[in-house]
Structure 1
Amino acid sequence: MKWLILAPLIIAGSFLAGATSATENTAPANAAEGPSKVEIIERDGKFQLLRNGQPYAIKGAGIDHADLELFAASGGNSFRTWAVDDGALPAKELLDRAHALGLTVSLCLEFAPERVGFDYNDPVAVAKQKEETRARVLANKDHPALLTWFIGNELNFDYTNSKVYDAVNDVAEMIKELDPNHPVTTTIAGFDKRAVKDIQERAPALDFVSFQLYADLANLPKYLKKARFKKPYFVTEWGAVGHWEVHKTKWGAPVEQTSSEKAAHYADSYLKVLEPFGDQAIGNYVFLWGQKQERTSTWYGMFTEDGARTEAVDVMHFIWTGRWPANRAPRISRIQLNGKNPYEGIYLWRGKSYDAEVVIVDYDKDTIEYRWEVRRESRAKEIGGDTEAIPELVQGVVGTSSTPKIKVTAPDEKGAYRLFVYAYDGQGNAAHSNTPFYVK
């Protein structure tokens, strides 16, 4: 039987070194009512974020409505959103919850990207959006949990009209007049040279720039050096390798990493890119403290759909606190289906049965329960994290046994499918793996 080796998560010495600097003291949450004063200072070419006059090292994640209590208990101190009025919770409620837990929030202001049909040549539409933004700023600017403002999310995604950044600058100037206490940024999908140039030329009122990269995060220092970019920046989304950055099968299905491979990638990204360049990378928000459907239900979330923690949560707990959680998530191999891994291209004949198996290692030697399922391959074409439909669950094709090895019967209808396995340790943790296959 061919197995992909369960690669070691961390080289202990280097990871411990990285974690030590991540646990430096940070400014406590402002207990008094009223706004916190947040600023970015520069000394000898090194940048630092201050909150109420004290250095503030962000230990952050992207969160909309997930478990803030667990986030705080895991060492997190700040989270970002993607909306004020259209989020899972109203901004006021989210800010209040954050403040009660000693957390801060980088609040993202709704700002329409060109790809959804917004016309930045339309002065009436632009003025209306500015007034809507004004109302959102006025409603939230004095909350003590507020840290920074984001003007929109990935406005450069498929954009053609550079005037979007004229509008961003106009709103940034307005925010500075209304709220002198909180820095303002906008987020960029990837390292987009054109967008960076447009921002530098058209949006000088921004206090810093924010980048969002996944596997390509490894190249960010090289991009910045080549562009001679000397300003402070946040990395406001980083995490698993993106579905557009991976190997695809002959029928076009992206091959997803296991939860263990993802955890190793989170650690690698932090140690090699975020921690070493902290003089410029003055804040970061890992994606995603929660769960969402995007090509699969497991691709980007650090939790499973039923709320179990994966190894990525363990890694961030270590980065933020310098210690592992009391009970750790299981480690998992790639699924072997009919003796093959997904890189080999797995074709099955409809109605025939095949062996599927996975290897689990649990640090705490907990009893593992398994759940196997088959779903149709996602047909989603959405981009930019837009809402996707959850692929159909195929009934009656996997064994009911909670074991690491089962029989899978290929569905009767030919086409693309995906086999999933979830391994639960009974302590609130889980590992997952999946493999695409095609039925002839």
Structure 2
Amino acid sequence: MKNLSLLFLTLVLCFSSTINGQVNKVTVEKVGDKWTMFRNGEPYYIKGVGGQTELDKAVEIGANSIRTWGLDQLGEGILDEAHERGLTVMVGLWVGQERQGFDYNDEVAVKKQFERFKRAVEQYKDHPAILLWGVGNEVDLFYSNLKVWDAIQDIAAMIHEIDPNHPTATVTAGLDSEEVSLVKEKAPDIDIYGVNTYGGLDGVTTQMRNAGWDGPYIIAEWGVDGHWEVDKTDFGIAVEQTSHQKANSFNERYTLIENDSLYCLGSYAFLWGAKQEHTSTWYGLFTPDGESGEAVDVIQRRWGTEPENRAPVLKTIKLNGKAPLESVYITAGDLAEVAIDVSDPDDDKMKFIWSVVAESTDKKAGGDAEKAPPTIPGTIKSNKGDKAIIRAPMEEGQYRVFVFARDGQGQAGTANIPFYVLPRPKEAEQARSVEFKSVELDIPARK
């Protein structure tokens, strides 16, 4: 009886292991004029989010895939977590970048990188959550050594040899005909071209064809206007969109993605999470405290369902009656009024969080980690809901006023407006430091 029990347990474990370890074969094929991704023989269009947080929310809004960028993210069990929720994963292999100090003339370093990726592919290739391998992300950003494409080809060829069940992609920063030609000529084992693009998304299809890429592609990152694409104040600060303006951008750009049904296999909305990149709110679809914004509602609608509760709609922000591009200057220590145009489509009661933050001095390229700038204490003098009175910091320089309009349901509208603090004139400081007030005294007459 004991032996029978052990045999039964062994069979159960083997069966469970087979189910959990089932390889889901992914192919990319051209049928007629149309490129299509197939997963286990069924057409699979990528409705993806770039990031590995808030997975339940991703499922709720209709996502079917997530994207990672490096092997360190796999160590957090993300493949299992995604598979449990029915999500696939574009597994990123972070290929060393010249701008970060990687030297492709260093054969030892290149081989070491190759071997590390080979071990990872051997380890994870049969995981049922894997959709495709992302070999490198924006290696073309600020580079000159073309040997990086040789390295990408070697890695892609290795993947095809070890893992015949999943395609390969590489991702460039925007779209440049030279990079398209290099990928096509030097990395023929790349199956899918990936593009990270924001304001330039409307030209991708035409540029791709003109550059000679006649294969399938994905939009590997897309979303709001990039900080390098927007207008600046006359004191040099890039103006961030309000959460409502961002939502409009997502809606318009998803239409562009859907319109190329012949070559585009889908996309990954960026960023599914929050991070400090230029500001704390520029790219994240969530606030630093984990609240989703109006753009998430837009994506959910485009993927077929209506949100149960909708985020606040924050349209505009003004400081002393001026819009961001009117370049607001305030003298140090002076008071100023900031106001927003905001509403909640579900009439939820909103809570407003205001802050004054120094402009970041740690701005980097390609999404590299940045330090958050300090919040200036004592600058919010009154919070009147959709209006606030601030006192300008005493130190000259660039700042932003941030506001979060929270609906108490896990969603928020966001905005910020830049301003420049001018030094306070000495005479004004002196006048401010000594104040005289008239006082009426009732002094009885002397007798």
Give CA-to-partner distance per residue, 1:141-183, whole Å, 9 cap, x none: 0000000001111111111111111111111111111000000
For residues 222-250 of structure 1, give each alpha carbon's deviation from its aligned partner in whole angstroms, at most 9, with x where no partner exists.
Answer: 31233243110011000111000001112
**Whole-Å separation in 2 of the counterparts to 1:101 and 1:253:** 41
Residue 129 (structure 1) aligns with: 113
Are 2:339 and 2:386, in contact at CA under 8 Å, matched by a contact in 1? yes
Cα 1:74–1:125 change in 2 (3 A) is same
* Partner Cα distance (2:62, 2:259) in 1: 20
Q: What residue in structure 2 maps to residue 196 of structure 1?
A: 180
* CA-to-aligned-CA distance 1:415-434 (integer Å, 9 cap, x gap): 10000111011111100110
* Aligned: 1:266 with 2:250: yes
Partner of 1:90: 75
Q: Paired residue for 1:176, among 160, 183, 196?
A: 160
Check whether the contact 2:132–2:166 (CA below 8 A) recurs between aligned residues: yes
Specify the code of the residue in structure 2 equivalent to 1:81: T
Post-superposition Cα deviations, 1:82-121, rounded to whole Å, max 9, x if no partner, equal 111x23x615x10000111011001001210111121112
- Structure 1 residue aligned with 2:55, among 68, 72, 75? 68
- The Cα shift of 1:139 comes to 1.1
**Cα offset for 1:290?**
0.5
1:299 matched to which residue of 2? 282
State whether structure 2 residue 416 is matched by structure 1 residue 434: yes
Q: 1:57 aligns to what?
A: 45
Q: Is there any run of 5+ residues in structure 2 with no aligned partner, and where?
A: 1-17, 423-447
The aligned residue for residue 323 of structure 1 is 305
Which has the higher Rg, Structure 1 or Structure 2? 2
Over residues 280-337 of structure 1, what are the superposed CA-to-partner deviations in whole Å (9 max), with x where a residue is unaligned? 01121010111010010000000001011100110111112x2220110011122110
- Superposition misfits of 4+ residues, deviation over 4 angstroms: none
**Matched residue type, 2:357:** R
| Equivalent position amino acid for 1:427 in 2 | Q
Answering whether residue 202 of structure 2 is matched by residue 233 of structure 1, we say no
1:113 and 1:194 mapped to 2: Cα distance? 18
Shift of 1:402: 5.1
Correspondence 1:118 to 2:102: yes
Residue aligning to 2:350:
368
Letter in 2 for 1:279: L
Aligned residue in 2 for 1:186: 170
Deviation of the 1:31 alpha carbon: 5.7
**Superposition map of 1:279-290 within 5 A:** 279-290=262-273
Checking the alignment, whether the CA contact within 8 Å between 1:329 and 1:431 is kept in structure 2 is yes
Q: Is the Cα contact below 8 Å between 2:195 and 2:218 reproduced in 1?
A: yes
Correspondence for 1:37 among 20, 25, 32: 25
Query: What residue identity is the alignment partner of 2:345?
Result: Y
Q: 2:119 & 2:384 partners in 1: Cα distance?
A: 53
Answer yes or no: is 1:275 the counterpart of 2:263: no
Could you tell me how far apart the structure 1 residues matched to 2:360 and 2:315 are?
23
Contact 2:294 / 2:413 at 8 angstroms: preserved in 1? Answer: yes
Aligned residues: 405
Gaps of 5+ in 1: 1-29
Q: Which has the higher contact order (CA 8 A, sep 6+)?
A: 1
Q: Could you say what secondary structure the match of 1:270 adopts? A: helix
Q: 1:167 aligns with which of 126, 151, 155?
A: 151
Partners in 1 of 2:280 and 2:182 — Cα distance?
35
Query: Separation in 2 of the partners of 1:400 and 1:130?
Result: 57
How much does 1:354 deviate? 1.2
| Offset of residue 401 of structure 1 | 2.5
Aligned to 2:3: none
| 2:61 and 2:305 in contact (8 A); partners too | no
- Tell me if structure 1 keeps the 8 A contact 2:24–2:40: yes
Secondary structure of the residue aligned to 2:383 is coil
Give TM-score scaled by structure 1 length. Answer: 0.90
Root-mean-square deviation (CA, aligned residues, Å) is 1.3
Question: Mapping of 1:129-168 within 5 angstroms?
Answer: 129-168=113-152
Secondary structure of the equivalent of 2:229?
Answer: coil
Which residue of structure 2 aligns with residue 19 of structure 1? Answer: none
Q: Give the TM-score normalised by structure 2.
A: 0.89
Question: What is the rounded CA distance, in whole Å, between the counterparts of 1:208 and 1:426 in structure 2?
Answer: 42
